[in-house]
Structures are given as C-alpha cells and as structure tokens.
Structure 1
C-alpha cells in the first residue's frame, strides 16, 4: 500500500501535465485546423506540421515539437521553408524558444503560434 502512496504524487503530476498538454493541443487544432498538415505521435513528443499564412510573404512551413512532459518542458519549433537561409531559420527558432519570453508567464500553444505569426516579420 505504501508503494502506491509514494508513486501517486508523480502519477498525479504526469496526469496534470498530460491534461494540460492535451487541452492545449486540442485548442491548437481547433484554432489552426485550416493550417494543419499532419500530426505524429512519437515516444517522447508530438510533432505537428503546419503551413501558416503570413501577410505579404510566402507561407511559413513549421513543425511544432511538443514534448511529452509539456508544459514543464517547452515546445520547440523547426522551420521547413527551403527558401530561407539556415541563419534566418535559426534566428526565428531562437526567438520563438527564447527562455525569458516564456518565463514571463506560461504561454499556451495557441498563444505561442499567435506570437510567431504576429512577430514573424520582425524576426527576420
């Protein structure tokens, strides 16, 4: 009986993380459904491929990598546009993943993509 008691706080934390993660992925799918290309579940994360429209620019092809233990570990971004330099992709990915920006307060997945599309032109 004691073994179960010892395990339960970790299980509770994992179930809370999972609930937040699933809720935010659901919100993301609802708001950005028109832009979803594919979703893949891996052992350690969820990969979501999106094609985001940008004002006066070519669409932005991104892959959002959402770790299994999100939100404790933040998601990352991979830019898939072939016409961008590696440096530009790295700069945009670094700005998206900037630790201080996320530490101001928790940003949902929808808020993160909203930020990316709103600030994209300033990131290049």
Structure 2
C-alpha cells in the first residue's frame, strides 16, 4: 500500500466495519487484537523481590560463616551468605553497605544506591 492509498484508506468513509476507497474498492476494517483492551488485568512481577540473590558477589562456601560474621560486626543485618556461599540481600540499603564493605561496585544500582 503506497502512502497515498494509505491516506485514502484512513480518510475513506466507513459503513458497518468496511471502508470504501475512492477507486470503489471495499476494504474490511478490523481492529487488531493488540489494540483491544485486555479482558483481565495482567499481573506483573514486582521490581524488587526479597531476598535478592547475588551469585557474582558469592564467596567460597568454606568462608561464608566468616563473611556473615564480618557483616554483623559492621552492623549489616540484611545481608548473608547461604551454605553454598551465595550472597542474599534483604534491602537495597543493605546491598549498598555490604558491597561497599567488600570494595565491590553495583553497576546496576539505581538513583540513591
């Protein structure tokens, strides 16, 4: 469809879901399903689900207990390593404090992180 025929289509009178083009051709007008309102609201996942797991900041499983103790000594209560050594955070504030203590930088941190 060229741009002029497209404009003809947009400006054509519509009768019962059909448009009549200037050349006399009738074209059926359908509303794409993607334009129709959804029948039910779509549930989306929250941006932050607790706890957040960080594999990149994990430690050797043998050192997990010593790192957990280090966090408690510095007042970081919302960050801990599990038995595999993976690091979990309970809040963005605790993530920021924990990573700063270890000298790590969060490149995905948002405003205020």
Output the TM-score relative to the length of structure 1: 0.26
| Higher helix fraction (1 or 2) | 1
Whose relative contact order is higher, 1 or 2, with alpha carbons under 8 Å and at least 6 apart? 1
Greater share of residues in strand: 1
